[in-house]
Amino acid sequence: MIIEGAHVVTVTGEEYPDGHVVVDGNRITAVGPGRPERGDHTVVDGRGCLLTPGFVNTHNHLFQWVTRGLAADNTLFEWLTALYPVWAGIDEHAVHTSASGALSQLALTGCTTASDHHYLFPRDGGDVLGAGIRAAQDVGLRFHATRGSMNLGQRDGGLPPDHVTEDLDAIMAASEAAIDRWHDPSPDAMLRVALAPCSPFSVTGDLMRVSAELARARGVLLHTHLAETIDEEDFCRERFGCSPLDYVEGLGWTGDDVWFAHGIHFDDDGVKKVGATRTGVAHCPSSNARLGAGIARTRDLRDAGARVGLGVDGAASNEAGSLLEEVRHAVLFARAVGGPTALSVRDGLELATMGGAAVLGRAGEIGSIEPGKLADLALWRIDGLGHADVHDPVAALVLGAPPPLDLLLVDGKPVVEQGRVVTVDTEAIARECTAVHRTLLEKAS
């Protein structure tokens, strides 16, 4: 396939206002200005469009899509306490339906690689991790499933009710089984697995420590929520006598194989530590603002050397579930707190692409438009009313209204065409999401 005539943003510094990209199989084989030799390639007319790398979502909870709009005006701890009983009702069907909705919305907003943090495993829920993976395969996105966990219930001073927690041995057996069954370390993998104990207030230190040991023995990444709210900071100071970052550092949880969701409340030393250890941060501006949690120090973290990507977070705290909106919010919120030069529109695009690829350990495979990289691409139409006269096409995408997505390629295959997901029936999914939402509320009442 050749896409030609588009404004091509490679994200490696080069831009081609009338450029082309050649895709052979699942890889990009050429990029440059003007029109290439056509040979027997299919040609996509990209005139009036902006071509970017596909976006990488570094933090999400797909099962939350069907629990949107609850506790809409509450803090994180209040919101979690309201939602745990609803989430306790999930099963394979609920998760497959919910994930299909969330992943379709991600595809429509430019996402080609999605990660999922699944931490809730009801005893009679069936294979809920596998259900999310099946949904990713149905929609056609590159997928990083994380086997999450909670083992610190209210009985032991944690936040979640005891019946939604598991015991440590069961978690470790399931984690190992998930790696055996699904993790694909190959360079063009469509599916990888990471381990993800949920947060300092819902898991024990022992679970964090043994999860890190297993992940390192098996060569998979580590993910958790960290430094999201002041309530979490207070919990850690009271229980462990230190900050959340110092606590998890002592458990082996910093390094280039670790990424934290949120990372808002780091002090200057914390920012330095995260940067010096090349730890990753999934910045989730919409969710953080929705829960009034604060805003991560994106610019400082990047300057310190941290790997920073973007995440929509679970849709229960970000009803839009739009990865493009995260780019816009990352830029706007960074400037709202850090001034006009805190983050450029191209920095925002870089966070969503190369930044996310680096967070998921895939900077060599995805995240930019370069020969040899996987063909994960987004072609945005910017010649309509909303964008045609915006001087800078990248500003049109990042600061303007969400433009129509003409084409989304994942691994060289179309997932979105002319603003519609072509792999699954999104209208049927929406109907089923409504039914599952009702069922979960009834179960919880």
What is the contact surface with Zn ion in residues (CB under 5 A)?
261, 313
**If DSSP codes are grouped into helix, strand and coil, which group holds residue 152?**
coil
Are 66 and 94 in contact by the 8 Å Cβ rule? The answer is yes
CB of 385 to Zn ion, least distance (A): 36
Structure tokens at 441: 């509320």
CB of 196 to Zn ion, least distance (A): 10
Cross-strand bridge partners of residue 16 = 8
Which amino acid is it at 60?
Answer: N
Which amino acid is it at 163?
Answer: H
CB of 61 to Zn ion, least distance (A): 6
CA atoms within 13 A on the CB side of 390: 21
d(CA 237, CA 201): 12
In which element (H, E) is residue 15 found? Answer: strand 15-24
Q: Which residue is nearest to Zn ion (CB)?
A: 313
CB of 36 to Zn ion, least distance (A): 43
CB of 172 to Zn ion, least distance (A): 22
| Residue 385 CB partners (closer than 8 Å, separation 6+) | none
Q: Which residue, 164 or 261, is less far from Zn ion as judged by CB?
A: 261
What are the start-end ranges of the E strands in 179-257? 191-197, 222-226
Structure tokens at 307: 């790997």
Q: Which residue, 71 or 261, is less far from Zn ion as judged by CB?
A: 261
Q: Which residue, 275 or 314, is less far from Zn ion as judged by CB?
A: 314
Which amino acid is it at 195?
Answer: L
Q: Which residue, 261 or 291, is less far from Zn ion as judged by CB?
A: 261
CB of 284 to Zn ion, least distance (A): 7
CB of 314 to Zn ion, least distance (A): 5
Q: Which residue, 223 or 373, is less far from Zn ion as judged by CB?
A: 223
| Residue 124 CB partners (closer than 8 Å, separation 6+) | 91
In which element (H, E) is residue 131 found? Answer: helix 128-139
Are 259 and 279 in contact by the 8 Å Cβ rule? The answer is yes
Q: Which residue, 120 or 424, is less far from Zn ion as judged by CB?
A: 120
The CA–CA distances, whole Å, from 169 to 174, 220, 408 equal: 9, 19, 41
Q: Which residue, 78 or 184, is less far from Zn ion as judged by CB?
A: 78
